[in-house]
Amino acid sequence: MTNIVVLTGAGISAESGLGTFRDEGGLWARHRIEDVATPEGFARDPELVHRFYNARREQAAKATPNAAHLALAELEKRLSGDLLIVTQNVDSLHEKAGSTAVLHMHGKLAGALCGACDHRWDAPLLMQPTDLCPACHAPATRPDVVWFGEIPYGMATIAEALSKADVFVSIGTSGEVYPAANFVAEADHFGAHTIELNLEPSTGASRFAECRFGPATEVVPAWVREELER
Ligand code: BV8
């Protein structure tokens, strides 16, 4: 019986064609974080922020899961123990691959939120500032994503899972964003074996007991095969 927590970042979706944030030419290279991923940026220019997320929503809708997403879905099916995927990603590629225990700590492109009454609904493909909330009819709709300075979703659930984890695996994340970047320390504190699977060493690589480098579509299926054969 092995309980596993997996943290994923933009790197797991890179080979599905979705841009990462901090790689060469990444999303942040084309937009200032302050302008498109903060409440202040949204208040300043909601049209720009909706355009940023509309483009990503359209791209994500067309994307297909890759071998790394599929390997994690297979692991969930066959693992004798609990597997929780905590993803920083707002795409739905884990779900499209068949994973069901997925916690989107930074929200989802597929979700819409009313800034006035907190109502949540399935986001249309394209959103704009004049959209009215289906519940309170205020023109205060936004993507249901967690911006900088906002509290990530599911923190209590994540803390509980980390306290029970035997293995913590971080996949495709630069380890630049908190509180996700601290999960490895929490898992380690509770005695979990910690593994980084990434294209190259992340900022927090030295905090992991084990690191394996390469494209997610190679290193993730290899690790899952080993885990299932243990
Ligand atoms: C919070 C929105 C309080 C949705 C995102 C000073 C010091 C420390 C912390 C802070 C500080 N000042 C402010 C903070 C807090 C701040 C923060 O961490 N800032 C950083 C920049 C310093 N954090 C927050 O504000 C968070 N909220 O702290 O609230 C709180 C906390 C807990 C409890 C109560 C209160 C909110 C953070 C959420 C921000 N929203 N996105 C969206 O638009 O997507 S963050 C954004 O970055 C995305 O969510 C993304 O997931 C996340 C992390 O990026 P990565 O996924 O790691 O992507 P990146 O491009 O960076 O890296 C890709 C990696 O993949 C690379 O390593 C690359 O090598 C690898 N890779 C590439 N290709 C492949 C690959 N790996 C494998 N295979 C490949 N093919």
Q: Give distance in angstroms: CA of 175 to centre of ligand 1.
A: 7
| d(CA 89, ligand 1 centre) in Å | 9
CB 143 within 8 A of CB 112: yes
The residue whose C-alpha atom lies closest to atom 44 belonging to ligand 1 is 90
At 176 the pLDDT is 94
Tens digit of each residue's pLDDT (9 = 90 or more) over 20-78: 777 777 776 678 888 899 999 999 999 999 999 999 999 999 999 999 999 999 999 99
The neighbouring-strand residues paired with 10 are: none
Quick: pLDDT tens for 175-224: 999 999 999 999 999 999 999 999 999 999 999 999 999 999 999 999 99
pLDDT of 128 above 80: yes
**Residue ranges around ligand 1 (CB below 6 Å):** 9-11, 14-15, 20-23, 26, 37, 88-90, 106, 145-152, 155, 172-174, 176-179, 198-200, 202, 215-216
pLDDT of residue 34: 83
The CA-to-CA distance between both ends of the chain, in Å, stands at 11
What pLDDT, on the 0 to 100 scale, is given for residue 141?
Answer: 97
Catalytic member of 69, 94, 104, 106: 106
How is the chain split into domains, by residue range? 4-228
Q: What is d(CA 128, CA 116) in angstroms, rounded to the nearest whole number?
A: 16
pLDDT for the residue numbered 69: 98
Q: Are 58 and 77 in contact (CB under 8 A)?
A: no
Rg of the chain taking only CA atoms, in angstroms: 18
Q: Calculate mean pLDDT across residues 115-142.
A: 97
Predicted confidence (pLDDT) at residue 158 exceeds the cutoff of 90: yes
Tell me, in angstroms, the distance from the centre of ligand 1 to residue 168's CA.
18
4-228 is classed in which CATH architecture?
Answer: 3-Layer(aba) Sandwich (3.40)
Cα 121 to Cα 16, 112, 124, distances in angstroms: 26, 5, 9
Residues 6+ apart with CB under 8 A from 84: 4, 5, 6, 101, 103, 157, 158, 161
